[in-house]
Amino acid sequence: DQLVRNLRQGSGGAGGKQVEYKGFQLKANKRDIRVPTQLFINGEFVDAEKNRVLDIVNPTDETVLCEVACASVNDVDKAVQAAHKAFFGSWKQVSARQRGQLMLKLADLMEQYKEDLATIESVDSGAVYTLALKTHIGMSIDAWRYFAGWCDKIQGNTIPVNPARPNNVLTFTRKEPIGVCGLVTPWNYPLMMLSWKMAACIAAGNTCLIKPAQTCPLTALKFAELSVLAGFPPGVINVLPGKGSDAGQAVADHPLVRKLGFTGSTPIGKHIMKSCADSNLKKCSLELGGKSPLVIFADCDLDKAVKHGMSSVFFNKGENCIAAGRLFVEDRIHDEFVRRVLKDLRSMTIGDPLNRSTAHGPQNHKAHMDKLIEYCERGVAEGAKLVYGGCRVPNMKGYFFTPTVFTDVEDNMFIAQEESFGPIMIISKFNGSDVDSVMTRANRSEYGLASGVFTKDISKALSFADRIEAGTVFVNVYNKTDVAAPFGGFKQSGFGKDLGQEALNEYLKTKCVTIEY
């Protein structure tokens, strides 16, 4: 009742209560930020079972920033029980429109704390601060606002079924929330991945628990604090940093979790889908790996193609699921394209992600950087031409990997087929008079997340969009995503959409009601 009264007064569900927690003081970016380091279960910050912790490392200087509680299987169970109780209790008392108000309040708080959130993201994940502010945090806020608007617009249909005369019949559908949803997310855009999934999940009326990536859970914990300030009832949102192999697995296995929203690698996605089936046939959506082709025709605007070609690979240090994993450049402009890319790379500022002039920060964690080095060694061993980078930035502390360019990459090479998830440009040539052949090569991948084409010929561009097997197609642009546009892959890049109206369906079930009169 208090919750509803507060909502009517516009002060948030719990009246904007402060929450207590153990945390650490992050002094960075001329800010002094208190960051929670405990699990967030049932509206409270609590220690993990047996006080288990994870070390959180700053990728810029390799120091341990803090210890964060590491959820066990039992901790996951506690969060699921809390979410279950809230789903059938307090959350049911909140109307669709009030839900929207809570989400808007949360978005306003995220906006108010955006510099803090971007600073935390930058220190925790290595994201360049300016990008963290605009994309990691900015797009998170957009997602909460966008989905808040959907809350009171989720509706079913009336359906003209055949009546058994002389009786009449009314058949209608209701869109209902699924129940407790588990969300498991990767480390490349920690708060944004949380927001893309959780905003749709909450807008649809579900309760949830999230297991963020173990390497960078800090913005998720700060977000949990803001959810209390916004007034979300206890149990609706639960945040459990922990390891995928136990806490993540426990979410996938739990019999009271009815839906799992996952973003991560294809092998783990396959494994999780089996767990969802074996446990309780929970619904799942999987946003997985990619090796997105970008085809650049000689008739393109070359300045634009170089600019977007660079960002298609190097945006967020390549830790971008829709990154162009392979560039096909028409032979007539190939050498000029490579020359311009190298010129731009030589002037790219690499350094502290908090520095406003930095364009390229450290990779997210050491194991990832080591994998990138191996990936490049494999490319060289297979005969691809390494024209730039391929190694750790010399004489620099932190997980800095030099932006890299390979040319003369053949279709059968490992680096032509497998995702690097790092700042590595893989270039192959094609003959512009044989469009069929480049389309076949672009589609010769088990992934189908995104794709792009640069050409001034509208017929060529539309034909590419028709024929490419990918969930996202960019024409004369790249990385242009928006919270209102559905996002998700084909083939082994998974299924189910984040963002846009379609994302709501991932977190809803349809009930069909038939009445005879």
Q: Which of 419, 429, 491, 497 is an active site residue?
A: 419
Smallest Cα–Cα separation from 199: which of 181, 217, 175? 181
Q: Indicate the pairing of strand 472-475 with strand 64-69.
A: unpaired
Choice between 230 and 257, CB closer to ligand TAP: 257
Give the CB-nearest residue to ligand TAP: 244
Question: Does residue 61 contact residue 398 with C-beta atoms inside 8 Å?
Answer: yes
Choice between 101 and 195, CB closer to ligand TAP: 195
Choice between 108 and 370, CB closer to ligand TAP: 370
Residues that bind ligand TAP (CB under 6 A): 184-188, 211, 213-214, 243-245, 248-249, 252, 263-265, 268, 271-272, 287-290, 321, 419, 421, 449, 489, 493
Q: Indicate the pairing of strand 180-184 with strand 207-211.
A: parallel
Smallest Cα–Cα separation from 375: which of 401, 337, 398, 399? 401
Choice between 100 and 264, CB closer to ligand TAP: 264
Q: Which of 287, 319, 330, 506 is an active site residue?
A: 287
Triad 381, 386, 389: Cα angle to 5°: 115
- Whole-number minimum distance, CB 298 to ligand TAP, in Å? 30
- Whole-number minimum distance, CB 431 to ligand TAP, in Å? 30
Question: Does residue 246 contact residue 214 with C-beta atoms inside 8 Å?
Answer: no
- Whole-number minimum distance, CB 461 to ligand TAP, in Å? 24
Neighbour count for residue 343 (Cβ, 10 Å): 10
Report the DSSP beta bridge partners of residue 39: 46
Smallest Cα–Cα separation from 326: which of 400, 389, 412? 412
Q: Which of 105, 114, 197, 211 is an active site residue?
A: 211
- Whole-number minimum distance, CB 194 to ligand TAP, in Å? 11
Choice between 185 and 227, CB closer to ligand TAP: 185
Q: Which of 151, 181, 321, 376 is an active site residue?
A: 321
DSSP state of 394: T
Residue type, 494: G
Residue type, 333: I
Choice between 26 and 449, CB closer to ligand TAP: 449
Q: How far is CA 231 from CA 12, 17, 106, 147, 235, in A?
A: 4, 7, 8, 17, 12
- Whole-number minimum distance, CB 319 to ligand TAP, in Å? 8
**Is residue 391 annotated as part of the catalytic site, yes or no?**
no
- Whole-number minimum distance, CB 463 to ligand TAP, in Å? 26
**Is residue 330 annotated as part of the catalytic site, yes or no?**
no
* Residues designated catalytic: 211, 287, 321, 419
